């Protein structure tokens, strides 16, 4: 028995000494199995997140801006149509909420008009004849109408056309007004077409004449492109909603918006206007409206999702300068006064300025490759003039963010900013070939808008 036990110990010992200690297994070069991910076609939240992530990757990887815009607007769903010129009550607050815009009364310091050397109180009944200003006023007029930074610009060389004074600019304005409202023998306009009869041609002639005259002082106007009745479109998401009808009932979708705008005139330039305030500036609060946009009312329609500034991406004049909007007859202030809605007169101007400038400026940013998942790295600035032919309101818009979707707005402190004035009359009345009560302040606001330019110019 002792021999058998010894053999067992020996065998066990031999077996123990012959064994080798196993080492750590080497990691495989690549995963043996693909990761477990949600199905793209499923209805779960994980599947929806994967679809959104895959879509963002495709847009980021787009080689050209045209391809990025095509992918951005490829999926068509019912969307709210936002009308810049609307009769809805208090529409400006809703538009500020949709676009995350802060409204600041007045114009920014760089665009504010200086005090006119020829005050409106001194205007004579023969102001339509554009009398020559005094020698002191004529000497100061170029400095009054200068844009910020224009004082550093050297004077025109000998033999160049001199900068027009306030008297000459007033004369050009009155001539354009008299040409359309007094000298021409026009027939009676059609119903609701009065704005196309006199105010429209007057605004076209006024802007083209002033831009040509001021191009001596602002070389950016000489290289600009003036569009007549252009088309401006912008499509974006803001907020979320639950689908209540159809085969997709119960799903959570982003709230989609589309602006289709048709300004009367717009000026596009090859260089971007300078920023007014820094990108992260906070100048106020944005209204929070929890109701559905259909309560405004806004209506849904499914059609092409379009982003367009009035020209193609390859156009060198890819930045906006100033838009000019003509209010239709249905939004005349006389109609609001008859309906005892005097408080809604300025709402019409503000709604038009905010919606139109947001669409135009945001589309410019997307032409540079930015979108809601790749927010802007610099501000984009545009200007607008809203008028009915007699009353003028001025707006300046700075786009600070495009990240307005429910996913990107959570950690986004930026806000878009819009400066705006109340409507002011350019003149009182046209009688017997004379423009009475001409307002130089409105003219100087318009001149300062046209003289705005980048600092390097």
- What does the pLDDT look like over 341-360, one tens digit per residue? 999 999 999 999 999 999 99
**Of 76-90, 138-152, 163-177, the least confident:** 138-152
CA distance 397 to 361: 8
> What pLDDT, on a 0 to 100 scale, did the predictor assign at position 456?
83
CA distance 273 to 452: 7
- For residue 116, pLDDT over 70 is answered with no
Q: In terms of residue numbers, what domain contains 361?
A: 64-112+197-451
- For residue 55, pLDDT over 50 is answered with yes
Helix then strand then coil, in percent of the chain rounded to 5, is: 35, 20, 45
Enter the DSSP assignment of 180: I
Q: Could you tell me if residue 227 is inside a domain?
A: yes
- For residue 161, pLDDT over 80 is answered with no
- For residue 269, pLDDT over 50 is answered with yes
- What does the pLDDT look like over 175-223, one tens digit per residue? 999 988 887 777 777 787 788 888 999 999 999 999 999 999 999 999 9
- For residue 281, pLDDT over 50 is answered with yes
Q: Return the percentage of the chain with pLDDT > 70, whole number.
A: 83
Q: Strands 380-387 and 265-269, how do they pair?
A: unpaired
CA distance 147 to 160: 20
> What pLDDT, on a 0 to 100 scale, did the predictor assign at position 147?
36
Can you name the residues that pair with 228 across neighbouring β-strands?
265
Stretch 274-300: mean pLDDT: 93
Stretch 110-118: mean pLDDT: 45
> pLDDT grade, residue 136 (50/70/90)?
very low
Contact 113, 419 (CB under 8 A): no
Can you name the residues that pair with 320 across neighbouring β-strands?
268
> What pLDDT, on a 0 to 100 scale, did the predictor assign at position 24?
67
- For residue 22, pLDDT over 70 is answered with no
Contact 380, 365 (CB under 8 A): yes
Spatial CA neighbour of 358 closest among 350, 347, 346 = 350
CA distance 149 to 22: 79
**Of 33-42, 349-358, 366-375, 443-452, the least confident:** 33-42
CA distance 195 to 326: 8
Q: What are phi and psi of 244, to 5 degrees?
A: -105, -15
Q: Could you tell me if residue 298 is inside a domain?
A: yes
- For residue 94, pLDDT over 90 is answered with yes
- For residue 112, pLDDT over 60 is answered with no
CA distance 236 to 219: 34
Length of the chain in terms of residues written: 457
What is each CA distance from 382 to 57, 60, 280, 362, 454, in whole angstroms? 30, 26, 18, 10, 12
- For residue 174, pLDDT over 50 is answered with yes
How many domains, in total, are found in the chain? Answer: 1
> What pLDDT, on a 0 to 100 scale, did the predictor assign at position 19?
53
CA distance 426 to 173: 10
CB atoms near residue 64 (< 10 Å): 10
CA distance 332 to 251: 42
- For residue 2, pLDDT over 60 is answered with no
173 is written with which tokens? 């304005």
Q: Could you tell me if residue 16 is inside a domain?
A: no
Q: Could you tell me if residue 148 is inside a domain?
A: no
Spatial CA neighbour of 94 closest among 344, 234, 290, 340 = 290
Q: Return the percentage of the chain with pLDDT > 90, whole number.
A: 67
Q: Could you tell me if residue 225 is inside a domain?
A: yes
CB atoms near residue 347 (< 10 Å): 20
> pLDDT grade, residue 142 (50/70/90)?
very low
- For residue 241, pLDDT over 50 is answered with yes
What is each CA distance from 375 to 96, 197, 266, in whole angstroms? 19, 43, 25
- For residue 158, pLDDT over 50 is answered with no
> What pLDDT, on a 0 to 100 scale, did the predictor assign at position 162?
58
Q: Could you tell me if residue 78 is inside a domain?
A: yes
Between residues 152 and 409, the one the model is more confident about = 409
Q: Could you tell me if residue 106 is inside a domain?
A: yes
395 is written with which tokens? 């707006």
Can you say whether the dihedral through the CA atoms of 368, 271, 263, 288 is positive or negative?
positive
> What pLDDT, on a 0 to 100 scale, did the predictor assign at position 166?
86
- For residue 60, pLDDT over 60 is answered with yes
Q: What is the mean pLDDT of the chain?
A: 84
Q: Could you tell me if residue 138 is inside a domain?
A: no
């Amino acid at each position: 028995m002792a021999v058998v036990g010894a053999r067992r110990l020996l065998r066990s010992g031999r077996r123990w000494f012959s064994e080798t200690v196993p080492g750590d297994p080497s990691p495989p070069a690549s995963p043996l199995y693909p990761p477990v991910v949600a199905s793209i076609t499923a209805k779960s939240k994980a599947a929806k997140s994967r679809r959104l992530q895959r879509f963002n990757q495709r847009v980021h990887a787009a080689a050209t801006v045209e391809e990025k815009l095509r992918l951005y607007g490829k999926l068509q769903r019912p969307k709210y149509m936002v009308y810049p010129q609307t009769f809805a009550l208090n529409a400006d607050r809703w538009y500020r909420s949709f676009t995350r815009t802060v409204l600041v009364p007045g114009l920014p310091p760089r665009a504010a008009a200086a005090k006119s050397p020829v005050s409106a109180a001194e205007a004579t009944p023969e102001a339509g004849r554009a009398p020559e200003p005094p020698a002191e006023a004529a000497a100061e007029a170029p400095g009054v109408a200068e844009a910020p930074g224009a004082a550093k610009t050297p004077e025109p060389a000998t033999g160049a056309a001199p900068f027009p004074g306030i008297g000459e600019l007033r004369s050009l304005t009155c001539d354009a007004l008299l040409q359309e409202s007094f000298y021409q023998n026009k027939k009676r306009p059609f119903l609701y077409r009065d704005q196309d009869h006199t105010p429209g041609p007057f605004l076209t002639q006024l802007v083209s004449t002033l831009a040509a005259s001021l191009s001596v002082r602002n070389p950016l106007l000489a290289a600009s492109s003036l569009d007549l009745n252009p088309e401006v479109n912008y499509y974006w998401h803001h907020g979320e909603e639950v689908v209540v009808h159809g085969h997709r009932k119960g799903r959570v979708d982003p709230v989609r918006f589309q602006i289709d705008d048709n300004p009367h005139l717009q000026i596009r330039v090859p260089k971007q206007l300078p920023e007014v305030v820094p990108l992260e500036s906070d100048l106020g609060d944005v209204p929070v409206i929890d109701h559905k946009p259909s309560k405004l009312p806004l209506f849904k329609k499914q059609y092409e999702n379009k982003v367009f500034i009035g020209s193609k991406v390859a156009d060198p004049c890819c930045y906006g300068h100033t838009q000019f909007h003509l209010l239709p007859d249905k939004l005349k202030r006389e109609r609001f006064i008859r309906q005892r809605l005097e408080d809604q007169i300025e709402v019409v101007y503000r709604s038009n300025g905010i919606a139109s400038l947001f669409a135009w400026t945001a589309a410019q940013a997307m032409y540079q490759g930015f979108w809601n998942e790749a927010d802007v790295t610099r501000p984009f600035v545009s200007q607008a003039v809203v008028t009915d032919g007699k009353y003028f309101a001025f707006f300046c818009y700075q786009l600070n963010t495009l990240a307005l979707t429910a996913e990107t707005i959570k950690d986004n402190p930026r806000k878009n900013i819009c400066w705006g004035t109340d409507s002011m009359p350019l003149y009182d009345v046209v009688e017997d070939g004379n423009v009475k009560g001409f307002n130089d302040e409105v003219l100087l606001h318009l001149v300062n808008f046209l003289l705005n330019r980048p600092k390097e110019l």
